[in-house]
Structure 1
Amino acid sequence: MAIVKSKLLKQLSKNYPNFLKKDLEKFLNIILKEIKNSLKRTERVELRGFGVFSTKIQKARISRNPKTNKKIHTPEKKTIHFKMSKDLFKILNDEKK
């Protein structure tokens, strides 16, 4: 099951009933926007206890269309790399701290 923004907002409003839902939505939007902007500037985003987001450059290369077997040029592009924290790794693998 994937978590979507609306379910995350619902969970936040349930956990923090003293905050208005629209304020929580603004807060979440600000956080996500700042993460996106930092990655766009090729800066590293570290969320302690969760992991690190960073960008990597995928080099330009010659690819192949599997349907037609024709060679095509794929330009250089940025990709997002995620490395989970040790704490998250331990939680996912049921290891004790």
Structure 2
Amino acid sequence: MRKSEIINKLSEDHNISLDVAKKLVEEVLSWIVQKTAEEGRVEIRGFGVFKLKRRNGRFTKNPKTGIEMYIEDRYLISFKPSKKLLKKLNEEI
């Protein structure tokens, strides 16, 4: 499912305009990104946890050229689904 499909479904189900639905979805996603960056963790009960993970820098080789280069430290976001979500997904299979 894409973001546009979420916006359309929200608009249909709650009888709101597409503009309002788009602003709501954008605001929620923006808030999740902002809070994850600030606090390192966002928990949505019944859905899961977004967690910030730090990856250390490392040396690696370009397989095509064989040149060794350094990849800087970086952050990744991981998602751990809740038990409730996993149970729901496994029931539908």
Q: TM-score, structure 1 length as denominator?
A: 0.85
Gaps of 5+ in 1: none
Deviation at 1:25, TM superposition (A): 1.4
Partners of 1:22 and 1:85 lie apart in 2 by 31
Pairs aligned (count) = 92
**1:16 and 2:9 are equivalent in the alignment:** no
Q: TM-score with structure 2 length normalisation? A: 0.89
Counterpart in the other structure of 1:50: 47
Task: Find the aligned partners of 1:22 and 1:75 in 2 and give their Cα distance.
Answer: 39
Distance in 1 separating the partners of 2:85 and 2:66: 42
Report which of the two has the higher share of helix: 2
Which moved further from structure 2: 8-17 or 34-43?
A: 34-43
SS at match of 1:68: coil
Measure, in 2, the Cα distance between the counterparts of 1:89 and 1:44: 20
Match of 1:36 in 2: 33
Query: What is the CA RMSD across the aligned residues, in angstroms?
Result: 1.5
Identity of aligned residues (%): 35
Q: How far, CA to CA, are the matches of 2:72 and 2:11 in structure 1? A: 43
